[in-house]
């Protein structure tokens, strides 16, 4: 039987990743839609809570010029959730997103600690099910710069002509947002409760070391189109995060440097520090390939001959990005993760395309999800 999952903060950084990942398993999970305005509409909030088998409470304020506003806002949201849980006599398993800042001397951390304890008290008094998640620093694609993490800020600045500044070069415990989402899903599956569960970090890095890697990615990839060496899972996750911050609309298509002589023409399609799989395809006029997305793979479409339309759409938006390529000036487009994409032959001759992807296809773990652009 499918579990009905509701996420407060559904459109936020972690919430959107969790919501989209749950959507990849429609036979297992049913997502109950949430909107921020439900907090101010008791009837709609009660209707939302009453439908859920599991509620992940992510909605919170992270930053404000007045720390007291942060505290008051976050506690108010918890109290509204508890009121609705009591009114609806909910039996949902409530998972609360707290922070490793709980033990620090700031009102954000205090709001998380007090909010977690309020929900734990609710569960104890009502016989409800509750899990409090202590989460380390989270990074990943689509995080807000100057809000979600220092990595988001660094990525944005490096891709927008600004210079990142390190305020405190300490060691930071990190978890990639995709890894956090899998941790939350495992908690949903286990159905176990724990008022204080410390989500393990997956890496520890000095701030300066992270910035050094990102500056390297900018030089190799953004400036020269070269895929850097990615030795660890953290490197891959950091690189995929970086790729989501530059201006995709105006960056692609990237034209190759073409060398011609009496024999014909030559272009270097890709230079890389990782392995993977390189494929060649022909496509007859009018045919479209693709209409799928990846959550971790790096992929390049290079048009060598013919005319093509490459389309991209981030899966939780309606905006379609169109890129027109012509083999007379060979060019490429790289596919950001979580963007469904396709390629169509819009010419009158066969389309020649070279596809590169950073890992060979594995049908047991394809990381390929079919969604129309």
Which among 87, 120, 135 is the end of a domain? 135
Report whether pLDDT(328) > 90. Answer: yes
The tens digit of pLDDT for each residue in 258-297 reads: 888 888 888 889 988 888 999 999 999 999 999 999 999 9
The strand pair at 307-314 and 369-370 is best described as unpaired
- Judge if pTM exceeds 0.85: yes
Q: Quickly count: other Cβ atoms within 10 Å of residue 127's Cβ.
A: 8
Q: Which letter does DSSP use for residue 225 in this model?
A: -
Q: Are 5 and 29 in contact (CB under 8 A)?
A: yes
CA–CA gap between residue 244 and residue 126 (Å, rounded): 44
Amino acid 345: pLDDT = 96
Which among 87, 104, 135 is the end of a domain? 135
- The reply to whether 160 falls in a domain is no
pLDDT-derived band of residue 104, with 50, 70 and 90 as boundaries? Answer: confident
Q: Quickly count: other Cβ atoms within 10 Å of residue 150's Cβ.
A: 20
Q: How far is CA 230 from CA 141, 188, 209, in A?
A: 17, 32, 14
Report whether pLDDT(149) > 90. Answer: yes
Amino acid 129: pLDDT = 96
- The reply to whether 162 falls in a domain is no
The strand pair at 3-8 and 54-57 is best described as parallel
Q: Which CATH number goes with the domain that contains 266?
A: 2.60.120.10
Q: What is the mean pLDDT of residues 327-351?
A: 97
Amino acid 206: pLDDT = 97
Q: Which residues pair with 367 in a beta bridge?
A: none
Q: Which CATH number goes with the domain that contains 95?
A: 3.40.50.720
| Dihedral, CA of residue 369, residue 303, residue 226 and residue 359, to nearest 10 | 30
| Cis-peptide, bond into residue 32, ω within 30° of zero | no
Residue 278 has, within 13 A of its CA and on its CB side, a CA count of: 8
- The reply to whether 187 falls in a domain is no
Q: What is the DSSP string of 154-173?
A: HHHHHHTT-----S---EEE
CA–CA gap between residue 117 and residue 195 (Å, rounded): 8
Per the model's pLDDT, the better-predicted residue between 191 and 356 turns out to be 356
171: its two tokens = 């060691």
The residues, any chain, with a CB within 8 Å of residue 166's CB and separated by 6 or more, are 207, 208, 211
Instruction: Report the domain count for the chain.
Output: 2
- The reply to whether 117 falls in a domain is yes
- The reply to whether 163 falls in a domain is no
- The reply to whether 211 falls in a domain is no
In this structure, the chain runs to a length of 373
- List the domain range (segments joined by +) for residue 71: 3-135
CA–CA gap between residue 162 and residue 213 (Å, rounded): 16
- The reply to whether 39 falls in a domain is yes
Q: Give me the phi and psi of 4, to 5 degrees please.
A: -95, 115
- The reply to whether 158 falls in a domain is no
Which among 100, 135, 170 is the end of a domain? 135
Q: Map tokens 């469904």 to a residue.
A: 340
Q: What is the mean pLDDT of residues 180-206?
A: 96
Q: What is the mean pLDDT of residues 244-263?
A: 92
Q: What is the mean pLDDT of residues 103-109?
A: 89
pLDDT-derived band of residue 298, with 50, 70 and 90 as boundaries? Answer: very high
pLDDT-derived band of residue 185, with 50, 70 and 90 as boundaries? Answer: very high
How many percent of the chain have pLDDT more than 90?
A: 90
CA–CA gap between residue 239 and residue 266 (Å, rounded): 29
CA–CA gap between residue 291 and residue 248 (Å, rounded): 18
Q: Quickly count: other Cβ atoms within 10 Å of residue 259's Cβ.
A: 10
Amino acid 42: pLDDT = 95
CA–CA gap between residue 37 and residue 58 (Å, rounded): 15
Query: Average model confidence (pLDDT) for the chain?
Result: 95
């Amino acid at each position: 039987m499918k579990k009905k999952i509701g996420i407060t903060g559904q459109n936020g950084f972690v919430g959107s990743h969790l919501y989209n990942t749950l959507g990849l398993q429609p036979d297992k999970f049913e997502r109950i839609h949430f909107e921020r305005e439900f907090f101010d509409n008791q009837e709609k909030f009660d209707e939302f809570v009453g439908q859920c088998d599991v509620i992940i409470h992510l909605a919170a304020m992270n930053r404000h010029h007045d720390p007291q506003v942060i505290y008051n806002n976050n506690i108010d949201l918890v109290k509204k959730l508890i009121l609705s849980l009591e009114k609806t006599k909910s039996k949902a398993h409530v998972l609360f997103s707290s922070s490793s800042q709980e033990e620090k001397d700031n009102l954000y951390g205090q709001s998380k600690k007090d909010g977690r304890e309020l929900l734990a008290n609710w569960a104890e008094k009502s016989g409800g099910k509750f899990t409090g998640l202590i989460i380390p620093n989270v990074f990943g694609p689509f995080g807000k710069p100057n809000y979600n993490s220092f990595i988001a800020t660094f990525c944005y600045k490096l891709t927008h002509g600004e210079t990142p500044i390190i305020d405190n070069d300490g060691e930071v415990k990190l978890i990639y947002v995709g890894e956090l989402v899998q941790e939350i899903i495992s908690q949903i599956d286990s159905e176990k409760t724990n008022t204080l569960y410390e989500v393990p970090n997956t890496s520890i890095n000095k701030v300066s070391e992270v910035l050094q890697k990102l500056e390297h990615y900018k030089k190799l990839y953004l400036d020269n189109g070269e895929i850097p060496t990615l030795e660890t899972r953290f490197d891959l996750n950091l690189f995929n995060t970086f790729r989501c911050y530059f201006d995709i609309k105006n960056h692609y298509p990237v034209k190759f440097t073409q060398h011609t002589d009496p024999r014909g023409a030559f272009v270097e399609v890709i230079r890389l520090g990782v392995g993977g799989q390189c494929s060649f395809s022909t496509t007859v006029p009018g045919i479209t390939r693709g209409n799928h997305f990846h959550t971790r793979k790096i992929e390049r479409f290079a048009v060598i001959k013919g005319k093509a339309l490459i389309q991209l759409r981030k899966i939780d938006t309606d905006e379609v990005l169109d890129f027109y390529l012509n083999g007379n000036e060979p060019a490429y487009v790289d596919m950001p993760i979580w963007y469904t994409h396709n390629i169509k032959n819009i010419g009158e001759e066969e389309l020649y395309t070279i596809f590169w992807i950073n890992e060979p296809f594995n049908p047991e773990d394809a990381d390929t999800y079919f969604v129309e652009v």
